[in-house]
Structure 1
Amino acid sequence: MKLYIKNMVCSRCKMVVKSVFEDLGINTLSVELGFVELENDIPENQKKKVLHQLHAVGFDIIDDKKSRTIDIIKTLIIDLVHHKDHDLKTNLSNYLSQQLHQDYNSLSNLFSEIENTTIEKYFINQKIEKVKELLMYDEMTLSEISYQLNYSSVGYLSNQFKKITGFSPTYFKQLKDKKRKQIEDL
């Protein structure tokens, strides 16, 4: 049995979700970003306990197919931007189509309908959050960040950053209160 979990975006999320299932005595085969695979089906009353425990730590079970697809798209984009820097050179539409085995246009239309934004804007927002993170670490130059996130130039990155945040990357780096958003709030 596979349960799709909303808001799983990092390895810590996987650990927290796994501990919820362990605490309830439910054996898992695997816990991955966006889903948990169980050895057996669980009864409805136990599923309610799981749901309650997941809610308590900021997660939710996704039951309908559209929501699952949207959550998988978000998880794939987050994973691509925040964990697979070298894969950013791939074409996003091809990447999503291959991963989900669906036509990109239908994925794009569904995402826009449900999320009121486009996949591309969501992708850009994730990239800008990654830029903010890397700027805060202060270990890379803007040129290195631009290269790592597959921007065609530092100028393009700077323009996109300013368009999204209202600040230049240099000014943002100087801010004491760097207001970053949680990944799941994008």
Structure 2
Amino acid sequence: MKLYIKNMVCSRCKMVVKSELEKLGLHPIAVELGEVEILEGAIDSQKGILLSNLQLLGFDIIDDKKSKTIDKIKTLIIDLVQSKNNAIKTNLSDYLTSHIHQDYNTLSNLFSEVENTTIEKYFIKLKIEKVKELLMYEELTLNEIAYQLNYSSVGYLSNQFKKVTGFSPTYFKQLRDKKRKQIEDL
């Protein structure tokens, strides 16, 4: 049986969800971002407890098709920005349609309708949060960050960063109170 879980955005999330399933005596076969497959065919008696436990941890079980699709889009984009360093050989629309197997216009319209923003703006917000994270670590130059996140130039990254945050990357780096947003708040 497959369960779709909202707000799974990292490997720690996968470990926490797997642990919660095992605490209830369930047997996870595969735990991926936003999606869990368990051995059991039906979990009606445990679903309420699982839902409560997951909600306490900031997760939620998704039951309707629209929410599953939105969550899949978000999960793919988060994984792309966080894990794959935006290293795709195609554009974002082709990447999403190849993984979700739906027309991009349908995905885009659904996402905009439910999230009140476009897929592209969501993608940019995630990339800018990743830039903030990398700037805070102070391990990479702005040029290296631009390359890692597949920006065409440092100038383009800087312009996009300023458009989203109101600050230049250099000024942001100098700020004492560097406010980053949690992924689930984007």
Fold match (TM-score > 0.5): yes
1:43, 1:8 → 2: CA distance? Answer: 20
Deviation for aligned residue 1:176: 1.1
Mapping of 1:23-172 within 5 angstroms? Answer: 23-85=23-85, 87-172=87-172
What whole-Å deviation, never above 9, does each CA across 1:140-177 have from its counterpart, x for those lacking one?
Answer: 11111111111111111101101101111001001111
What whole-Å deviation, never above 9, does each CA across 1:69-102 have from its counterpart, x for those lacking one?
Answer: 0000000000000100162453100000000011
1:56, 1:26 → 2: CA distance? Answer: 19
The runs of at least 4 aligned residues of structure 1 exceeding 4 Å deviation read none
2:86, 2:107 → 1: CA distance? Answer: 24
1:128, 1:56 → 2: CA distance? Answer: 28
Unaligned runs of 5+ in 1: none
Secondary structure in structure 2 of the residue aligned to 1:85: coil
Relative to structure 1, the CA distance from residue 88 to residue 125 in structure 2 (aligned partners, 3 Å threshold; closer, same or farther) is: farther
1:12, 1:54 → 2: CA distance? Answer: 14
Count how many residue pairs are aligned between Structure 1 and Structure 2: 186
1:34, 1:109 → 2: CA distance? Answer: 21
1:134, 1:89 → 2: CA distance? Answer: 23
2:175, 2:88 → 1: CA distance? Answer: 28
1:42, 1:22 → 2: CA distance? Answer: 15
What whole-Å deviation, never above 9, does each CA across 1:45-78 have from its counterpart, x for those lacking one?
Answer: 3111110110111100000000000000000000
Secondary structure in structure 1 of the residue aligned to 2:87: helix
Structural RMSD (CA): 1.0
TM-score (norm 1): 0.97
Native 8 Å contact 2:108 2:118 kept in 1: yes
2:122, 2:139 → 1: CA distance? Answer: 26
Native 8 Å contact 1:108 1:118 kept in 2: yes
Native 8 Å contact 1:132 1:180 kept in 2: yes
TM-score (norm 2): 0.97
1:43, 1:176 → 2: CA distance? Answer: 49
Unaligned runs of 5+ in 2: none
- More deviation, 44-53/125-134: 44-53
Relative to structure 1, the CA distance from residue 130 to residue 88 in structure 2 (aligned partners, 3 Å threshold; closer, same or farther) is: farther
1:43, 1:132 → 2: CA distance? Answer: 41
